[in-house]
Structure 1
Amino acid sequence: MTWNLLTETSVDAPPWSVRGPVVAAGVADLAPAVLGTQEGSRAMLDDLVSRLPQRYRWVGEGRGGEGHDEQGAVVYDTSALTLLDLRHRWLSSTPEVPGSMASDADLPRMLTAARFHDREAGSTFTVVCTHLDHLGVRARAEGAAIVAAEASDGPTVVLGDVNDPAEGSEAYRILTTSGLVDALAPRDRRSRRLGTFIGVDPDFEGGGRQIDWVLVTPDIAVSDAWVEAGPPGEAAPSDHRPVVADVVIGPQVASNQR
């Protein structure tokens, strides 16, 4: 599951103290094994996890380095998963330098890669959570290439706000031609490809664009995937909808659904 939580500094939305409990209720209802978030501060993420069942924890890094700024965060269920490794890379020409930026990026952008062991399935896999730049066209393309390279070693799920529409952008082309599979690409799921950038106005009627994605390597089977629409007529707790996928990871998986 991936969800851009909307920064706590937004002046166009209620404060996190109002939105946080709604986000937490939505996450608890879906009960994901893994949630990738964007735009969350340390305080927001600590608060979110405090409202979830005790089995959840989060790991991540601030995009400015040393915990500063919004976090590239992965929330996970410790009752199902054991964290084996954690690494952070910045989407720039110097990926190992905290806070570094692509040439036309507006802000530092990064990825967080968390490697897990699924105790029930007996398998290991990596989750890559990212947030590409909202202004830099070149930055999004270069960032997508770095993400694709990070997803090239074993079963991997990529979660993120890519700030580009699915099926109609260079970032999408780069990621899908690298071998990653869009969880919403199969024909029987097309009707679930709702816009994810929707604003927080309960009267918003536009479809928005699906700029938040779940992608997987071909050795992961996707049994279902959808954009979570939320209750109609209620103010959304974020200006993004979450994207959810049910996946199967293990030696029994021969190929992905297409």
Structure 2
Amino acid sequence: MSGYLSCREKNPRQPGSAHRTLRVLLGALGLCAASFAGAAAPTAEFNVATYNLRLNVASDGPNSWPHRVEAVKALIRYHEFDIVGTQEGLPGQIADLDAMPGFAHVGAGRDDGKDAGEHSAIHYRTTRFDLEKHGDYWLSETPDRPSKGWDAKCCNRIASWAKLRDRVSGKHFFVFNVHFDHEGDVARRESAKLMLRKIREIAGGDTVICTGDFNSTPDTEQIRTMKTALRDAREASAEPPYGPEGTFEDFKLDSKLPERIDYIFVSRGVDVLKYATLTDSVEARFPSDHLPVVARIRLP
């Protein structure tokens, strides 16, 4: 018996000790793996924005696009927009934004359904989202071709849409982006009805995000129409909205921002974690005559 005990005392690899050591090591590795996975796990949240770029016209002088383009791109990068619906962008402006690494866009020109005229483009991060399909239609009685609608006077108005897949969550959803007419009362009211009809036709019951310059204040019939099917992200935000309510400043730093005309709408069930109207300026100049609006959301 004494020899057997002596042998066990001299052997550090006895079965009981080895099992205990193995359990300790596996437990430590498990904790490390869990901690690493928790730290590195990608978020299923993302930022969606709407931004009227103000078209590129030389008559804007120091506020014309060549003087603003880098500020616009810097704002999009710094605030980490993952999806942004832009309005009024002409082909050259759209190309400038496409030059941002990791971004692509969908959307056609309102004058010919190709490149001519202003766009209601949807820009998205290609590392985060896969594009599955996309299309365009006009805000008119003939939405399948370039056209003015109802009592609109100056120009065609176009809406663009995209079906995207979020690579993080694997979820599919639709983004619609639009620019309502600024003159026709009937055109704005009918455009809201058309938007909801097209959303039903195109997206069915899938999750929808709708961004745009609606040229309409919250008390108007057309905004109330949009809210019959979608939620206003400002009102749905879990945190109090950040920044002013008004979104049109006409390049004036001292603007009282009397009108809120830019919106983000989301399907019921989408979590709006926070919402902001951004007042960034560079050297006492706004990057556009509209303020960008951004919401952080989580898909259902």
Counterpart residue number, 2:286:
236
Task: Note if 1:157 corresponds to 2:209.
Answer: yes
Counterpart residue number, 1:256:
none
Tell me the matched-pair count.
Answer: 244
Runs (5+) with no aligned partner, structure 2: 1-48
Counterpart residue number, 1:201:
252
Counterpart residue number, 2:103:
56
Question: Which structure features the higher share of helix residues?
Answer: 2
Is the deviation greater in 2-11 or in 81-90? 2-11
Determine which of 215, 223, 229 is the counterpart of 2:265.
215
Query: Structure 2 matches for 1:24-43, cutoff 5 A?
Result: 24-43=73-92
Once the two structures are superposed, residues 26-74 of structure 1 have per-residue CA deviations (whole angstroms, 9 ceiling, x without a partner) of: 0011121111000001111111221x2x211122100112211001211
Q: Distance in 1 between matches of 2:71 and 2:104?
A: 18
Task: Note if 1:92 corresponds to 2:140.
Answer: yes
Counterpart residue number, 1:133:
181
Task: Using the TM superposition, give the Cα deviation of residue 192 of structure 1 relative to its aligned residue in structure 2, in angstroms.
Answer: 4.0
Determine which of 108, 113, 126 is the counterpart of 2:161.
113
Q: Distance in 2 between matches of 1:189 and 1:164?
A: 22
Q: Would the aligned equivalents of 1:21 and 1:48 in 2 still touch at CA under 8 Å?
A: no
Counterpart residue number, 2:297:
247
Once the two structures are superposed, residues 68-94 of structure 1 have per-residue CA deviations (whole angstroms, 9 ceiling, x without a partner) of: 100121111000000001110101111
Question: Which structure features the higher share of strand residues?
Answer: 1
Q: Distance in 2 between matches of 1:133 and 1:145?
A: 14
Once the two structures are superposed, residues 139-173 of structure 1 have per-residue CA deviations (whole angstroms, 9 ceiling, x without a partner) of: 0111111112233321000000000112x111101
Once the two structures are superposed, residues 219-245 of structure 1 have per-residue CA deviations (whole angstroms, 9 ceiling, x without a partner) of: 311111111122497211111000101
Secondary structure of the equivalent of 2:225? Answer: helix
The structure having more radius of gyration, on CA atoms, is 2
* CA 185–233 in structure 1, closer or farther in 2 if over 3 Å, else same: farther
Name the amino acid aligned to 2:60. D
Give the TM-score normalised by structure 2.
Answer: 0.77
Name the amino acid aligned to 1:132. F
Secondary structure of the equivalent of 1:143? Answer: helix
Secondary structure of the equivalent of 1:35? Answer: strand
Once the two structures are superposed, residues 167-210 of structure 1 have per-residue CA deviations (whole angstroms, 9 ceiling, x without a partner) of: x1111011001x200000148535645211111133x2312311
Q: Would the aligned equivalents of 1:35 and 1:74 in 2 still touch at CA under 8 Å?
A: yes
Name the amino acid aligned to 1:15. S
Q: Percent identity?
A: 29
Is the deviation greater in 40-49 or in 192-201? 192-201
Name the amino acid aligned to 1:200. F
Task: Using the TM superposition, give the Cα deviation of residue 10 of structure 1 relative to its aligned residue in structure 2, in angstroms.
Answer: 5.8
Over the aligned positions, Cα root-mean-square deviation in angstroms equals 1.7
Counterpart residue number, 1:225:
275
Is the deviation greater in 232-241 or in 185-194? 185-194
Counterpart residue number, 2:14:
none
Q: Distance in 1 between matches of 2:217 and 2:53?
A: 19
Q: Distance in 1 between matches of 2:102 and 2:75?
A: 16
* CA 169–189 in structure 1, closer or farther in 2 if over 3 Å, else same: farther
Q: Distance in 2 between matches of 1:4 and 1:155?
A: 24
Task: Note if 1:45 corresponds to 2:78.
Answer: no
Secondary structure of the equivalent of 2:69? Answer: helix
